Structure 1
Amino acid sequence: MTSDAFAPEKTRTMRAFGAEVIVVPGEGGQVTPDLFGASVDVFCAAVGTAGMISGVSAVLRQAGSRARVVALEPSSSPVLTAGTAGPHRVEGIATGIVPPLLTADVLDEARTVDEAEARRMALRLAREEGILAGTSSALYVVGAIGLALELGEPPAEPEAN
């Protein structure tokens, strides 16, 4: 789903990759807040310095969101989930410490993702989706898919009268 308020190149690119694209009209072809009405159930991210996950968590909380905030880390270095650091090859995350920006009010949960599974996902993303992603990006995808499966189907939208 996209809007006529966004660059037409984006729509063409999505179609070129085989996506079925639904174009939602924007008010006067402009980007307006009503184009972003979806609520967030869960936000997940890996932790390096924790700046990104802390910032997103703060904005969600300030907006009154009840979204779960879940930190992801390689299972070979479970600092947040088990308190032990270990070697891994996922660049930019899991530095072996709990970063100072990661305060108790930021997270609802932390969970591990198998690094080998993330590497397999990176290959799938390249082969099946044409997305050239590294292991850390693929780790996010594996974590997000796991959370989405736990959430199940979203509730049906109420019918308009």
Structure 2
Amino acid sequence: MERLAAQAARAKALKALTDDHRKVLVADARLRARGTAYDFEDLLNGAYERWLASDKPVVGPAETCSFLRGAIRSISSNERRHADLVRRVEGDRVVAVDGEPDPIEAAPDRAASQEGAVLLAQLYELCGHDPEVQTLLMLQEDGAERADILRELGWEVTKYETVQKRKRKIVARLINEGKI
């Protein structure tokens, strides 16, 4: 019974919002819905649901509006974080639309390009004076992680960072000289 009375008070607080408050909420929801899977109305309805389920005391229209704006912000932020996580874990999901070419056919080849192999060969040759940098280049090209490189070469972290720094300086110098 008490919960029902609280929800009635919350519903009255929603009805007490002024037109200016409603305009602010709609504008905020439209802005935050961009780039999400939600429509602005979805964000507003989600904020209303949170308000009705909340235990926060009903104070006035300004506080109610503030709560609703925070809920809109939270819902859109959560959706973006979720979409980013799905994209990181599963990758971009692209499917063909009926009657149109399959997008996978236009996707870049994940194999190393021929230009990349030529660039690596040039860089390896130009680093001939530093065999440690050459070794690091070879291992990194094979996709070895830092821990694997440290274990395989018996290097300490300091040595790895030093060689990595020398490699960066050599590459920067070669780029400035126009050799690569």
Q: Which has the larger radius of gyration?
A: 2
| TM-score with structure 1 setting the length | 0.22
| TM-score with structure 2 setting the length | 0.20
More helix by share: 2
More strand by share: 1
> Of the two structures, which has the highest relative contact order with CA contacts closer than 8 Å and spacing of 6 or more?
1
